[in-house]
Chain A
Amino acid sequence: MALITLLIITFLLFLLVRIMPGNPFPAERMSAAAIAKKRAEMGLDNPMLVQFWNYIKNLIASGSFGNGSALYNGAPISSVLPVAMSNSFRIGGISICFGVIVGLILGIAAALNRGKFWDVFCTVLSIVGVCVPSYVFMIFLQYFFSYKIPAFPFYFDSARFLHSAIMPALSLSLFSMSTVARFTRNEMVEVMDSDYVLLASSKGMYGTKLVTKHILRNALIPIVTVIAPLIVDLLTGALVVEKIYGINGIGKLMVDSITGEGVDYNYVLALGILYSTLYIGIMLVLDIAYGLLDPRIRVAGNKEG
């Protein structure tokens, strides 16, 4: 099922990218004849279905996304994509871990101390996090911690990965952190007011066990729903932050392949496929995670299936 969806997505992208304005061969100095020749070389004159068939055949047979046309002057995508993926995934990964963990802790602390300092702190943070775009935060970090106090490199340096990944990861995590914190708090509060928690506590259960076993587990279900799209977004790169900090990542590659020298069909396709694979994959994982967290869904699911 997922594969068919992917195939449809690929075909749709394949069509759309060819409708987009912009030349796949940005050549100011080429005569019309030379451009026509180049189009023929790339197989762009064939009927759409033939082109698509060739593309899929190539993708499956050799596992390659082909060469670019405009971006990096036709360099093979296999020489560009892995580097970009590794940069974006690592920075995105750090920022997700950081955001989710800190967000969860803050949310729990806020829910357990309702109306007290942690609650107010969590509320303020989640508002700031949602209201301030990550790139603005990035600029602030860059200005204060690279320029005023030179603690971190001013630009991304792959030789010192961890050192230079901290600022972008931090700025990207702000949004997920505040979303998670806010959701955790609200869900926890809701669960804590529920009858079964009242029952559990009246049976003498208290402290950590009550929080982890009864409250958190039930509160996590909706939180997982919120985290999933955040993960996809963060893994696929935050283009403005990547641009500002000079990170060679997926988000920047996407923008470059559409608004750069020309519209590079193969790059857009490769990135689109990557994105939808991630999206569909994470949604699958999400379904499984639901089952693990909530036995009711597992049972109900079995009954229906």
Chain B
Amino acid sequence: MSKKLKKSSLQMAAEAAEAYVPVDEDFVLDVDQDIQTDKNYASQGFWKGVITRFFKNARAVIGLVIIVLIIILAVIGPHTSGHGYAEVIKVENASGKKVLARSIPPRVPGLHKLFTGEEYEDDFAESTFLFGTDTMGRDLWTRVWYGARVSLIIAFVTIIIDMIIGMSYGLISGFFGGFTDIGMQRFVEVANSVPRLVIVGVLATFMPKGIWLVIVALLLTEWIGMSKIARAEMLKIKEQEYIMASRTLGANNFTIIFRDVLPNTIGPIITQIMFSIPTAIFTEAFLSFVGVGIVLPQCSIGSLISDGFTNITTLPYQILPPIIVLALLMLAFNFVGDGVREALAPRIEDM
């Protein structure tokens, strides 16, 4: 506003003291640069803003791209090598002996020839194993992506169900407060204190080992974090005026909890989900490591890591792909989690 304006035609007219007929020029903003004005935006929905902000965050987008890529590979990867995840690759060689393709380091015959000018000299000279083969003689490329698929299924199923259980539990506990809250929180303490190995062991008496056992075991332990977040949010929100307004209008507890409060806790919950998925994958890896995870010949990222671990310095190529996939997944979900959190609670400087 401090800019000095040119003498306007109006002023000139006043000086001339005669009736002034406006000319077109009068209606043109005659400044040599933009004057500072408030910009008016079309009103933007909260979620639209969140999404815009999310996609402006380079790390979050990278994370999302990695996740999408891994999901795509997990879906199509196992079908691209021509070997099944449980298929033990063996051939009968010229002398009639059964030869197993076990512990073959990654090989692409074409590339090998291109760079070294040599060809492989064993019974699998023509075969391509992008990640090599494992000690059983199976293609690791197939198994890694199959394992990623299993791990992701486990993670998504547990997190979705945990979200439902944990959120309801936390919201109810926080909403009613008092003795209900104390009782429910003591129950959380109890549930949290039972070692995971005991839970898995007890479950194993009721159901066969495998994916579903891992999922149920994770269900029983992972909801606690979710419930804590939901409870904290509920404690924050339930004092707000609109809840009181809703109550005055005759809404019952159920409506208040699930219609009025729930939608407003969705932000922290989504953030928590993003951080819980890697935890679930990690926990599954731990269970596989202790030997109560996925049942062979099926595999998960965790079981592949624990298999590869037995030969970590002798055959390091066996553990690298699953560890890298795990690390990428963790990284990506952390990025996305951070991105979602920042998008939901933007700081002034970011806007």
Contact = CB atoms under 8 A, between A and B. Distances in A.
Interface in B196-210: 197-199, 201-202, 204-205
Contact of A1 (B186, B291, B309): B186
A292 to B, nearest CB: 20
B330 A130 contact: yes
Interface in A1-16: 1, 4-5, 8-9, 12-13, 16
Contact of A20 (B186, B190, B198, B291): B198
A9 B193 contact: yes
Interface residues of A, number: 40
Contact of B313 (A4, A135, A143, A239): A143
A22 B201 contact: yes
Interface string B257-299: 0000000000000000000001000100110011100000000
A268 B198 contact: yes
Contacts of B323: 136
A211 interface: no
Contact of B202 (A16, A133, A189): A16
Contact of A131 (B201, B290, B309, B326): B326
A258 B204 CA distance: 13
B301 to A, nearest CB: 11
A19 to B, nearest CB: 5
B313 A272 contact: no
Contacts of B190: 5, 8-9, 12
A271 B186 contact: no
A16 B291 contact: no
A259 B205 contact: no
Contacts of A240: 286, 289
A13 B326 CA distance: 33
A283 B190 CA distance: 13
Query: Which one of A8, A131, A272, A279 has the greatest number of beta carbons of chain B within 10 Å?
Result: A131
A263 interface: yes
A280 B195 contact: no
Interface size band for B: 20 to 34
Contacts of B347: 189-190, 193
A276 B198 contact: no
Given A20-B202, A193-B347, A283-B189, A127 B331 contact: yes
B351 interface: no
Interface string A18-31: 01111000000000
A16 B198 contact: yes
Given A19-B205, A21-B205, A280-B189, A193 B194 contact: no
Interface string B321-351: 0010011001100100000000000011100
Contacts of A189: 347
Contacts of B305: 133
A9 B334 contact: no
A12 B162 CA distance: 22
Contacts of B282: 133
10 contacts: A5-B190, A12-B194, A13-B194, A22-B201, A131-B327, A132-B327, A135-B309, A139-B309, A193-B348, A283-B189
Given A8-B186, A13-B198, A130-B334, 15 more contacts: A4-B186, A5-B190, A9-B189, A9-B193, A17-B198, A20-B205, A130-B278, A133-B285, A189-B347, A193-B348, A193-B349, A255-B290, A259-B197, A263-B201, A279-B192
Interface of B: 186, 189-190, 192-195, 197-199, 201-202, 204-205, 278, 282, 285-286, 289-291, 305, 309, 312-313, 323, 326-327, 330-331, 334, 347-349
